[in-house]
Structure 1
Amino acid sequence: MDITQQAQATTTQVTPKDVRIATWICFFAWTFAVYDFVLFGNLLPVLADDFGWTGAQSTQVNTWVTAGTALVAFAIGPIADRIGRRKGILLAVTGAAVASVLTATTGLVIGLAAGVGVVFLILVRSLAGLGYAEQAINAAYLNEMFAHSYTDPAKARRRGFIYSLVQSGWPIGSVLAAASVYLLFPIGGWPLCFVIAAVPAVFIVIAGRWLKESPQFTTRRRIEELVKADRQTEAKELASASGIDMTNQSTPLVAVFQGESLRSTLVIGTSFMLNWIGVLAFAILGTSLLTAVDGKNITFNSALAILVISNATAFAGYLFHGWLGDRIGRRNTIGIAWILSSVAFFGMLQAPDGNFAVIVALYSAGLFFLIGPFSALLFFTGESFPVHTRATGGALINASGQVGAIIGGLLITMTLSSGGTWTEAGLWWGCLPILASGLLVFAARKRDPRVIRTG
């Protein structure tokens, strides 16, 4: 078998059926990873009451957990570029499940030694960053799988929309987390909620036997084996036949800051970080801003109402921006949407306090254009890196979001502590970072959604 035939054999082992199975498994894996990831935030006030934490202590624990999540989310990228996308997904799912079970035991550890127990909790919840990291691995994996399933340019234009369906697991997982708290907390308290959160992982790991490794990764691995065996000519011929660039032989962790990858790392990573400052202000701390007297002074009788509004908005936003990215390009979709989001949130902050209809309408529009583009962004990230650095680059950018959350938390806390209002904090650390992220992303290299990247 000559080199060209070897390349063809590698790329034809994945069938459309394999890609459909992979898409569904990735959807459920992401949904249940989000379920565990969001569960901690939902139950943090209850944990604080049980452990006797003050509001400041609770916030401090969450900040350390966020920092740990960022480190773990980044670390999984180089690992997935080494062991493969399939194993990376299963590692992320398993890690999130283990973190859930261990979280249920933290009450006992804190009861025995409070200081040690808190450190244990932070380490355990940092491990749950594997669940958060899964979206970056999913994006790299499905980007490569879709490249071998949607070779027809007409079908290629549907890749972003299909991926947006996978990414919609975030609002679905969030709703499941809220529902589980409502149903399980009265029965067994917060430990039972975390134990049950680990159960779906068992089914995902079993389903993982039907996942096939992406052809791009297996081809790259074969080329690296030929290089190590000093079969340079065969390696170059196989790389050429497969459309894979082998000029950069650095480790993925180094290569992500070199050549083509450097621009994507700096531009998309910084945009993602800036945007997450705004996500913290309007999505994560949105209820505080809306209900604060020095915010919008709106009384929500039930937190479920906010949850339904935000997650329904996010779900619709994912699908719309996935669809739009297939038509005008993902970079353009992300930039335009984030600029519109900043405008909508600015209008909300200027609206008369207590005007529920106007404020919630603008808040929903802001979330639609803020959260929805993440489906386009994650797929765009996969398109922006070569196969050698795809998982590492995606993980680094994904982790930068948690860095943005930490920075945003510090800035908002500083503003409120110095006498500023929630409205001022929302303007300075919500609207402006979102606007900056939307403008900056246009500096990223444009990718034609009709063009399939095979390397």
Structure 2
Amino acid sequence: MTISPTIRMPELHQVTLKDVRVATWICFFAWTFAVYDFVLFGNLLPSFAADMGWTEAQSTTVNTWVTVGTAVVAFGIGPIVDKIGRRKGIIISVIGAAVASALTAVAGWAIGLSAGIGLVFLLLVRSVAGLGYGEQALNATYLNELFAQVYTSPEQAKRRGFIYSMVQSGWPIGSVIAAASVYVLFPIGGWALCFVVAVFPAIFIAIAGIWLKESPQFKNRKAALELLRAGHVAEARAFAAAAGVSIEEQTAPLSAVFKGESLRAVVCIGLGFTLSWFGVLVFVILGTSLLTSATGKDIDFSDSLLILMISNGTAFFGYLFHGWLGDRIGRRNTIALGWLLAGLSFAAMVWTPSEQSVLIIVWYSAGLFFLIGPFAALLFFNGESFPVHTRATGGAIINAGGQVGAVIAGILVTASLGAGVSWNTTAMLWGVVPTVIAAVVILGARSLPPGAVRVD
């Protein structure tokens, strides 16, 4: 095989350590404020429902339909990013979160004018917020590829998961900011003001996206494919080999992700992710509903926000811990252990009498520590489980699976509450049990050796 001297070979795209550090910080703040908007809706749902005159079952039904829209949007962004690039995908996600926050602020006014049209408007707006939720899969894909370029020594490779955990810790930080903003802003301007304020950080992050550099793996593979499509087969393969990427699989990412090594990851990680989101829906998104309900923990709304802030602060350290542990015992095993302990902790919280508020805080904090913390390992594990060609698509499918789990859980929670089942029993059935099952299912995924670096 010879390479024609008349063909001008493209330059290998590379990034520096400084580029990666800048990208890491931008991705951290982007995820933090995307979570802020995403969690805000769940935190404010009891007050929003009260203004609209909804029952508990009606409010969870609305949340379920919102989750359906979020899943569709989060799923759709993956194949697009495998086509247009990681950098553009992140910027689009941030802008989408800002638009969703702005339009949510006027949703109540729209419902007031016309309940039916206003409700459809609310569902569409909160579906757009799926772009913000989908950003965590994009961040994992993007940073996984950047880290593989600069953190190459054995010592650096063993810290990649911990570094990524600091980015993913934007979830509890964003949740704390959301709870704190409700605590401060709600008495001043109600739920609408909370969503208006959420717009401005997202705008700042969208501007900061100018400094993001495209993933070398994505850009180099794209250059190799352009050579291949131009008929320069030898040159394309030589360039791909030099870049450490594969161009053998050329089918659409949405088709390729259900073949070969990608299929096992989609099934095992995806199913585990889906089941874990039963717990996320019950104990995080609908956490205020569980805590304030008379058939739940029967805690005052203001006190429940304080519990959420304290518990999510604990979850921040859960991210760091599980990111660190994943670098040592493997990410798959870390995820399974965390979710098992999360199920046991939430079971203890549900069984704790309402008057023992200190114990409720302890068990709730432990539950969030072990439920949310493993996502730092899981999102990075996603990136390691797929080749470049299907990495964003596979990650998006798994990420959207979380919303599918939330939809199914929402339907089951709504049915339970509508049938007169208490919030405590509902939380046990559709929050605790699926979380424990998720811990078992994830063990079916292929485990990668700690410290291994995947560059293709």
With normalisation by structure 1, the TM-score equals 0.92
Structure 2 equivalent of residue 10 of structure 1: 12
Distance apart, 1:64 and its partner CA: 1.0
CA displacement, residues 300-356 of structure 1 (integer Å, 9 cap, x when unaligned): 871233112321121010010001111111111101111222233334445566444
Q: Percent identity?
A: 63
Amino acid in the other structure paired with 1:217: F
Separation in 2, partners of 1:341, 1:113: 42
CA 141–108 in structure 1, closer or farther in 2 if over 3 Å, else same: same
Structure 2 equivalent of residue 99 of structure 1: 100
1:218-297 aligned at under 5 Å gives the runs: 218-289=219-290, 295=296
Amino acid in the other structure paired with 2:12: T
Amino acid in the other structure paired with 1:396: I
Distance apart, 1:451 and its partner CA: 1.5
Alignment size in residue pairs: 451
Of stretches 313-322 and 285-294 in structure 1, the one that deviates more from structure 2 is: 285-294
Structure 1 equivalent of residue 174 of structure 2: 173
Distance apart, 1:398 and its partner CA: 0.8
Separation in 1, partners of 2:278, 2:396: 18
Structure 2 equivalent of residue 159 of structure 1: 160
Contact between 2:57 and 2:417, CA under 8 Å: does it hold in 1? no
Distance apart, 1:368 and its partner CA: 1.3
Structure 1 equivalent of residue 135 of structure 2: 134
Of stretches 79-88 and 289-298 in structure 1, the one that deviates more from structure 2 is: 289-298
Structure 1 equivalent of residue 426 of structure 2: 425
Contact between 1:287 and 1:306, CA under 8 Å: does it hold in 2? no
Distance apart, 1:106 and its partner CA: 2.6
CA 191–281 in structure 1, closer or farther in 2 if over 3 Å, else same: closer
SS at structure 2 position matched to 1:307? helix
Amino acid in the other structure paired with 1:258: K
CA 414–201 in structure 1, closer or farther in 2 if over 3 Å, else same: closer
Amino acid in the other structure paired with 2:447: K
Amino acid in the other structure paired with 1:430: G
CA 14–332 in structure 1, closer or farther in 2 if over 3 Å, else same: same
Q: Does 1:198 align with 2:199?
A: yes
Structure 2 equivalent of residue 41 of structure 1: 42
Contact between 1:85 and 1:141, CA under 8 Å: does it hold in 2? yes
Contact between 1:97 and 1:201, CA under 8 Å: does it hold in 2? yes
Of stretches 197-206 and 83-92 in structure 1, the one that deviates more from structure 2 is: 197-206
Separation in 2, partners of 1:183, 1:291: 19
SS at structure 2 position matched to 1:445? coil
Structure 2 equivalent of residue 320 of structure 1: 321
Of stretches 133-142 and 201-210 in structure 1, the one that deviates more from structure 2 is: 201-210
Amino acid in the other structure paired with 1:193: C
SS at structure 2 position matched to 1:262? helix
Of stretches 216-225 and 274-283 in structure 1, the one that deviates more from structure 2 is: 274-283
Distance apart, 1:138 and its partner CA: 0.3
SS at structure 1 position matched to 2:455? coil
Contact between 2:61 and 2:410, CA under 8 Å: does it hold in 1? no
Separation in 1, partners of 2:296, 2:55: 23
Structure 1 unaligned runs (5+)?
A: none
Separation in 1, partners of 2:109, 2:300: 37
SS at structure 1 position matched to 2:269? helix
Separation in 2, partners of 1:40, 1:365: 23
Distance apart, 1:291 and its partner CA: 5.7
Contact between 1:252 and 1:392, CA under 8 Å: does it hold in 2? yes
Separation in 2, partners of 1:55, 1:427: 18
Contact between 2:334 and 2:374, CA under 8 Å: does it hold in 1? yes
Separation in 1, partners of 2:268, 2:24: 28
Distance apart, 1:254 and its partner CA: 1.0
What is the root-mean-square deviation of aligned Cα atoms in Å?
2.4
Separation in 2, partners of 1:248, 1:81: 13
Distance apart, 1:290 and its partner CA: 5.1
CA 395–385 in structure 1, closer or farther in 2 if over 3 Å, else same: same
Distance apart, 1:194 and its partner CA: 2.0
Distance apart, 1:37 and its partner CA: 1.3
Structure 2 equivalent of residue 309 of structure 1: 310
Amino acid in the other structure paired with 2:111: I
Structure 2 unaligned runs (5+)?
A: none
SS at structure 2 position matched to 1:148? helix
With normalisation by structure 2, the TM-score equals 0.92
Contact between 2:42 and 2:285, CA under 8 Å: does it hold in 1? no
Contact between 1:103 and 1:124, CA under 8 Å: does it hold in 2? yes
SS at structure 2 position matched to 1:302? helix
Contact between 1:161 and 1:322, CA under 8 Å: does it hold in 2? yes
Separation in 2, partners of 1:419, 1:45: 18
Structure 1 equivalent of residue 76 of structure 2: 75
Separation in 1, partners of 2:60, 2:289: 14
Separation in 1, partners of 2:247, 2:112: 54
